[in-house]
Amino acid sequence: MKTYLVTGGCGFIGSNFIHYLFKTYDNDVKVINLDKLTYAGKEENLKEVAGRENYLFIKGDICDEECVNSIFKTHDVDYVVHFAAESHVDRSILSSKEFVISNVLGTTTLLDAARNAWLMEGDAYKEGKKYLQVSTDEVYGSLGDTGYFTETTPLDPHSPYSASKASADMIVKSYIDTHKFPANITRCSNNYGPYQYPEKLIPLLIQNCLAHKPLPVYGDGKNIRDWLYVEDHCRAIDLVLRDAKVGEIYNIGGHNEKTNIDIVKLVLSYLHDNYDPEITEDLITYVADRKGHDRRYGINPEKIGRDLGWRPEIMFDEGIVKTIQWYLNNQEWLLQVQKKVKM
């Protein structure tokens, strides 16, 4: 039985990853979920697994050394999967300090705790231990009309959020290089799917459509993102944990580049045709562009395919329908969080 310490497990990707683990391994894993329960983290995301004997929730801050160290002293942690992060670009533009504290200091606290728990004599580490830093393609900056991010693309972050994630990545790399620490870094494209907090594009669109509220579109709406269904991402993370060579960095992309306005119109069209004919493109409202708004992200995931045999299984046309239907079937969940969203 492998013991996973999942940070930020009540958030979007973290909760999906925990669901994935129990769906895939059932009672053959133990999951410790460390989450501060900030505005974007909800225990309700994991209510189906809360009663399992092999699941433990701990409310705590990754910056709290005493809390983090106590977990490693109490439990024989095999894998650390570090999702916990402040991740909303607009919020980072308004106030960057909390992003630096959580994303940089929190990562360092986790690294030190894991290293101290796993280190043996002679700078060797206990067998089978690994730390995984879950990062983002935003650390690479912006692409032109052609080309893709690879694992060797220089880091060039353009927002306080992406700068804090790039800083955390560099700290992890320094532990790999300096301490021979058993870690990997993954950088993913835009995730979508169930349980995503509705300050992000797709759930925000769905929420506003259902309420017949304006759909804010930055600039001309032609910024391009690569979209990855969250379960495909979870599967990739688990492969990296179990099979990847220590120190390797992997880009995880969905082969689904779409402009923001295309996403808006696709969601509108589906809801208009299948749910409410009064949901129309009249709701689209163009707003001033975001500061430092990267024009295009595109990931080349060939390395993880070549090394680990991973490929995205859920293409966007299927995944977006699954996602919209999930939100339609879980409108009570959406109502519980919508008052906390700052437009």
pLDDT in tens, 7-62: 999 999 999 999 999 999 999 999 999 999 987 788 999 999 999 999 999 999 99
In the DSSP assignment, the letter for residue 128 is T
List residues bridging with 67 in a β-sheet. Answer: none
Among left, alpha and beta (phi > 0; psi -120 to 50; other), residue 141 is left
pLDDT for 343? 40
106-118 and 65-74 helices cross at what angle (nearest 10)?
30
Alpha-carbon span 307 to 186, nearest angstrom: 14
Cα–Cα distance measured from residue 254 to residue 226, given in angstroms and rounded to the nearest whole number: 6
DSSP code string of 58-108: EE--TT-HHHHHHHHHHS---EEEE------HHHHHH--HHHHIIIIIHHH
* pLDDT at res. 92: 81
Task: Quick: pLDDT tens for 97-148.
Answer: 989 999 999 999 999 999 999 999 878 999 999 999 999 999 999 998 888 9
Which of 226, 81, 80, 216 lies closest to 143 in space, CA to CA? 226
Nearest to 157 by CA among 108, 199, 99, 210: 99
Helix (H) or strand (E) holding 242: helix 230-243
Instruction: Tell me what the mean pLDDT of segment 218-234 comes to.
Output: 95
Please state the rounded mean pLDDT for residues 219-224.
93
Q: Side chain identity at 64, as an amino acid letter?
A: D
In this prediction, residue 342 has a pLDDT band, given cuts at 50, 70 and 90, of: very low
Whether the pLDDT of residue 89 is over 70: the answer is yes
For the chain, how many residues are written? 343
Q: At what angle do helices 316-329 and 331-338 cross, to 10 degrees?
A: 80
Q: What is the DSSP letter of 135?
A: E
How many Cβ atoms sit within 10 Å of the Cβ of residue 141?
20
Q: Which residues are catalytic?
A: 137-138, 161
* β-strand pairing of 257-259 with 224-229: antiparallel
pLDDT of residue 339: 58
pLDDT of residue 224: 93
CA 293 from centre of chain: 19
Contact 9, 35 (CB under 8 A): yes
* Cβ atoms of 314 and 232 closer than 8 Å: yes
- Which helix (H) or strand (E) segment holds residue 33: the answer is strand 29-35
Q: Taking a C-beta distance cutoff of 8 angstroms, is the pair 117, 130 a contact?
A: no
Q: Is the pLDDT of residue 341 over 70?
A: no
